[in-house]
A and B are shown apart, each in its own frame.
Chain A
Amino acid sequence: MMILLMISAVFAGTFFSFTHILSDQLISSSIMITEVSLVVLLFLIGFDIGNNRESLKTLIKADRYAIIIPAGTIIGTIFGGYVVSLITDLSANESMAISAGFGWHSLSAILLADLKGSDIGAIAFMSNVFRECIALVSIPFLVKFIGPYSPIATGGATTMDVTLPVIEKYCGKRAAIIGFINGVILSTLVPIILPLF
């Protein structure tokens, strides 16, 4: 439901701006409004991480998979981004920056729209929404062929929220804890890794 609302919000904003239904003043202050919203969101996300003692404890006690899976996801994702630059018009930097959203469509889209322009922001949004959808659909199938842990990689940063229930249902509790840690690590790294490109 929320993902439908999110996609509708983007389309509504684009439509109202493109057709000049919104006032020019509001359209010109849209960048400032997105920046303020992003600061509020980042504060709340940080708050959730700091406020959840269990997640902090699990993070401290985490087993080796809690390191292997985020590391593999980061390496594979960035390399995948580089491969995309070889087969499309995107530069290597743009492509790897888009991939470094790790499925976190809202944040990566805003950061990249700010850093590299609206076009790249739009591609970041769409490709990261697609990543989330692919993860939701593919995890139940992948678990039968490659075991319970590797499918976590598909979700990227979304394994701490949207795709976590699917991981728990199809891959088990241990995979769910690792999935959550994977999501926390990748979410924390998005605002750090993405601007590097």
Chain B
Amino acid sequence: MLSYVIALGVGVAAGFFLPSGFMTKPKSLIFNISLLGLLFFMGVNLGRDPELLSKLSNFGIISGIMSVTVVVFSVIAVMILMRIFGEKSS
């Protein structure tokens, strides 16, 4: 876990000291390849489970409930905080 925080921190420091827009294209290419690789091998990890198919039907329903609930409550929480601390004119 610490390595993730260190990677992020080193990235912020490197980005701060290097000129703005440094290596934008190669960076975006590496980002996309790493992201796709990461997701592919995450899929590989999932596929190692022989009981995967029976679990998948459950995941879809739980994921749907999770996403809708979380969105509804986050909007409600922001509306409450805006009512308490927001600008009166807006």
Contact = CB atoms under 8 A, between A and B. Distances in A.
Interface size on A, as a range, is 35 or more
Contacts of B5: 191-192
Given A12-B40, A16-B47, A47 B71 contact: no
Contacts of A89: 62
A18 B52 CA distance: 8
Given A27-B48, A76-B78, A152-B78, A84 B40 contact: no
B59 A51 contact: no
Q: Is the interface of A mostly helix, strand, loop or mixed?
A: helix
Contacts of B16: 50-51, 56
Interface in B38-80: 38-49, 52, 55-56, 59-60, 62-80
B38 A47 contact: no
A69 B79 CA distance: 9
Contacts of B71: 80, 131, 134-135, 138, 153-154
Contacts of B70: 76-77, 80-81, 84, 99, 127, 131
Interface of B: 1, 3-5, 7-18, 20-22, 27, 30-32, 34-49, 52, 55-56, 59-60, 62-82, 85-87, 90
Interface of A: 2, 5-6, 9-19, 22, 26-27, 30-31, 33-35, 37-53, 56, 64-65, 68-69, 71-73, 75-77, 79-81, 83-84, 87-90, 95, 98-99, 106, 109-111, 113, 118-119, 121-123, 125-128, 130-131, 134-135, 138, 142, 146-147, 149-154, 156, 188, 191-192, 195
